[in-house]
A and B are shown apart, each in its own frame.
Chain A
């Protein structure tokens, strides 16, 4: 079955803290992987993506993610979060040309 699991539903951090959001997906052969962010009241925006090649991918706003094939994981990281990173983050593997979204992680950054 095609599934994706995000480990934390709510995360609260202080500014400048480091962030790591876990994401595991079910095996489905070659899979493209995405992280999307949804700021309060806004639409989904692409943070970063992995198709092939270097398993460490860098996205916008200082975010990066590491694809670990052996663990079926694609964890999102940021060394130092800002108040403006408060949003909901969705991991989304692509299965059969459609995105399957995880349940999302709501990140709140305290200033």
Chain B
């Protein structure tokens, strides 16, 4: 069965650079969620989209932005990267009426 696809799997950036993470939800899933998991920490909700509109916002820094496109894939844009942004970024997707979210394998971002 198709799963949530995230790319890239690994990314190394320098401080003050910009990064773009991509998430391709399971086909027919209309909701996408982004989570950030710092080293040794629990996943923290960043932002979610439903039908290409932002549906909820968590602890997402102003330096980050995200959007969901017409094909339902989502991109998380991160600017002015800081060392503290080093983390595993998970994307999850779900379908309307089905509260279970399926997670991708994550993008490990390292800021040096």
Knowing A42-B105, A43-B106, A97-B48 touch, does A102 contact B42 (C-beta < 8 A)? yes
A49 to B35, CA, bound (A): 19
Of residues 17 through 34 on chain A, the ones whose CB sits less than 8 Å from some CB of chain B are: 32, 34
Q: Does A51 contact B (CB under 8 A)?
A: yes
Main DSSP-derived SS at the B contact region = strand
> Cβ of B103 and Cβ of A98 under 8 Å apart?
no
A44 CB contact (under 8 Å) in B31, B90, B99? B90
Knowing A44-B43, A101-B43 touch, does A51 contact B99 (C-beta < 8 A)? yes
> Cβ of B42 and Cβ of A104 under 8 Å apart?
yes
Knowing A98-B56, A98-B58 touch, does A49 contact B100 (C-beta < 8 A)? yes
Knowing A45-B103, A51-B99, A94-B99 touch, does A100 contact B45 (C-beta < 8 A)? yes
A97 to B51, CA, bound (A): 14
Interface size on A, residues (CB 8 A): 21
> Cβ of B42 and Cβ of A103 under 8 Å apart?
yes
Contacts of B102 in A (CB 8 A): 46
Q: Does A90 contact B (CB under 8 A)?
A: yes
Contacts of A11 in B (CB 8 A): none
A96 to B42, CA, bound (A): 19
Of residues 81 through 111 on chain A, the ones whose CB sits less than 8 Å from some CB of chain B are: 90, 94, 96-104
Contacts of A103 in B (CB 8 A): 41-42
Knowing A43-B103, A44-B90 touch, does A98 contact B33 (C-beta < 8 A)? yes
> Cβ of B105 and Cβ of A43 under 8 Å apart?
yes
A14 to B40, CA, bound (A): 23
> Cβ of A96 and Cβ of B103 under 8 Å apart?
no
A34 to B43, CA, bound (A): 14
